[in-house]
Structure 1
Amino acid sequence: MFSIARLPKKDRQSRLVQYLADNPFATDEDLAELFRVSIQTIRLDRLELGIPELRERIKTVAEKSLDPVKSLGIDEIIGEIIDLQLDSQAISVLEIKEEHVFSKTQIARGHYIFAQANSLAVAVINAEVALTATARIRFVRPVRAGEKLVAKALVRSRNGDECKVRVETKVQGELVFTATFRVVEMSSYHNSMDEE
């Protein structure tokens, strides 16, 4: 993550507002590192500017653009969905915690990264039941404890009951994982299984 040389308070607060407009999921820790100030200074700046804490910012983004999930129960989605436009796109956020990493290396277990992307790819489909038929995945770099995964799913094509969904997962704008899923509605899946 790049950092900004120490700025006078007024300039820092102005840049803070601009930065959070583009990066609403930045943590206070990220901002402190970026602006080369203490976490307490960032919290005071947010208070003075009326900028809510991260959880409230995520909730606000989610309330603005969230279709109801049809294909999964909301508790079956790995990560917190903050944008969902059925058959179009979706975004979820997952903070990697101690329970997500290998204790020896503090590197995230791959199945959590995959599960976030896979559940998002299924959730974006406008169907009562949808399943992943195939997945092409690529882990770009290891993810560590404390990092926040932002996964974005885009429906690339739809052919009847079958969709191709591309998911890119980033940490602070850096690509860490990609996947292309073929997702099918349940009725279509039964038919294709019968043909095999």
Structure 2
Amino acid sequence: MRVPKRERQRQLGISLEQNPFLTDEELSRQFNVSVQTIRLDRLECGIPELRERLKTVAARTMEAEVKSLQSDEVIGEIVDIELDKRAISIFDVSEEHVFQRNGIARGHHLFAQANSLAVAVLDDDLALTVTSTLHFLRPVKAGDRVIARAIVDKDRSNDKRTFVEVFSTVENETVFTGEFEMYQTTDQSRRKS
């Protein structure tokens, strides 16, 4: 049984508030309607397309928060950040990011997204990667949307070293994990107080 149009539009708005990363295709599966119906619902409700929603959030985030990188130095788009705690970025894999022979994303793009997010999440003018431990868990292909989540591990961090864990997913399946040991110029013990 289909949900009435007004109720579907109300639920659509709620879904996008809870998860602004949802694509029209994912929403069409969620509501069991066509992608075109979702687009029309968004238009009627004044909800911009995903790309525009993400650009707006990313621009606000970069202007307000990130200290260690310029916006053109970030791989992917940062869509949420709380300095020294957590951050989220989105990277859309296109044909230019994959091997022509098999269509699988080149690993350095996934690493670059995770590494730039690990740098950006730190509340410092200078943050550098000291070491990293990486695990590629499954291939990523052109057309995939990679959502990377960075979490600062305060328990393991000390005066000049901060540990950041990054988990990258495609459609809620983990495809990459990384642990980054980061050097910062600011003494961590002074910032905690």
Task: Determine if the TM-score, normalized by the shorter chain, exceeds 0.5.
Answer: yes
* 8 Å Cα contact 1:65-1:85 kept in structure 2: no
The aligned runs of 1:27-66 (5 Å cut-off) are: 27-62=23-58
The partner residue of 1:101 within 93, 98, 102 is 98
- Cα-Cα RMSD: 2.3
SS in 1 for 2:162: strand
Q: CA deviation at 1:60?
A: 4.3
Q: CA deviation at 1:8?
A: 4.2
Q: Specify every segment of 5 or more residues in structure 2 that has no aligned partner in the other structure, as ranges.
A: 188-193
Letter in 2 for 1:103: Q
SS in 1 for 2:146: strand
Counterpart of 1:78? 75
Deviations 1:104-161 (A, max 9, x none): 2222111101110001001111222211111111112211211111111111123111
Distance 1:105 1:32, change over 3 A: farther
| Inter-partner Cα distance in structure 2 for 1:181 and 1:112 | 16
* 8 Å Cα contact 1:124-1:153 kept in structure 2: yes
* 8 Å Cα contact 1:131-1:186 kept in structure 2: no
Q: Specify every segment of 5 or more residues in structure 1 that has no aligned partner in the other structure, as ranges.
A: 189-196
| Inter-partner Cα distance in structure 2 for 1:31 and 1:155 | 31
The aligned runs of 1:30-179 (5 Å cut-off) are: 30-62=26-58, 67-157=64-154, 158-179=157-178
* 8 Å Cα contact 2:61-2:78 kept in structure 1: no
Q: CA deviation at 1:186?
A: 5.4
With 124-133 and 23-32 compared, the bigger mean Cα shift is at 23-32
Letter in 2 for 1:133: V
Deviations 1:29-69 (A, max 9, x none): 33234434332211101112222211232244446655432
Is it true that 1:181 corresponds to 2:177 in the alignment?
no
Identity %: 53
| Inter-partner Cα distance in structure 2 for 1:6 and 1:134 | 52
